Amino acid sequence: MEVGVGQNVLVVWSGCAEQSLLLAVEELKQRVGSDGEVCLENAERLEFGAQRASRYEVVLAGVVPPSALIHSDAMLEELSRVVRPGGQLVLREPTCPIGHVTNMRSQEKLRAALTLTGFTDVSQPAVVTESPEQRALLCQALAEQRGVSAELAQTVTLTEVRAQRPAYEVGASSALPLSFAKKATTNGTATSAAESNVSAVWSLSANDLGDDDVELMD
């Protein structure tokens, strides 16, 4: 995970073991140092919007095992809101072929959902390598949190996708450069740049039009 010194990081968790969460937080605190910040948010409370907008350079969602977190569209929108412009989202989610497990996305659908939410530079989905113990814990979490049978759990893969929030605020505006400075013309008369441009657009010499160029309507 690309977490650096001085960054503000949000960890969104759900159903993971307390010890795993504490170890992850401790590692992240060492990475960001005293100038950075590591915050925790339960996925079930994320949609309440308690987090300040554009606060975090990095958001890690569903990365602390074992997690069977399925990010709803509302969750993805909230994640987009709290990531700073130019910031990164690292998201892990169980995926499966379409139709195998109800309310579970395929890898392609997960990537598309992030794009539709407004994220850019969405990476190709990558299967997370799991140890036998981690796989067993994921299957257990799928059964407890999602009601997925052991047989169907074999079709599920833990997928990681990375994405960025566009490096600008939605609704931001910028002024168009308009110059009203006076400039000299060939006859010595001062005119503004804006006036000159308007004249160039709207003036047309009579010499530019021939009789054949004009179509008269009956």
Residue-level pLDDT at 170: 55
Residue-level pLDDT at 171: 57
Indicate whether this model's pTM tops 0.85. no
Residue-level pLDDT at 49: 81
Residue-level pLDDT at 99: 75
Residue-level pLDDT at 115: 97
* Residues 153 and 167 sit within 8 Å (Cβ to Cβ): no
User: What average pLDDT does the segment 82-107 reach?
Assistant: 93
User: What average pLDDT does the segment 106-115 reach?
Assistant: 96
Residue-level pLDDT at 187: 53
Higher pLDDT, 1 or 97: 97
- 183 pLDDT band, cuts 50/70/90, is low
DSSP string, the chain: ----TT-EEEEEESS--HHHHHHHHHHHHHHH-TTSEEEEEEHHHHTT--SPTT-EEEEEES-SSS------HHHHHHHHHHEEEEEEEEEEEEE-STTSSTT---HHHHHHHHHHHT-BSPPPPEEPP--HHHHHHHHHHHHHHH---HHHHTT-EEEEEEEE--SS-TT----------EEE-TTS-EEEHHHHHHHHHH---GGG--GGG-----
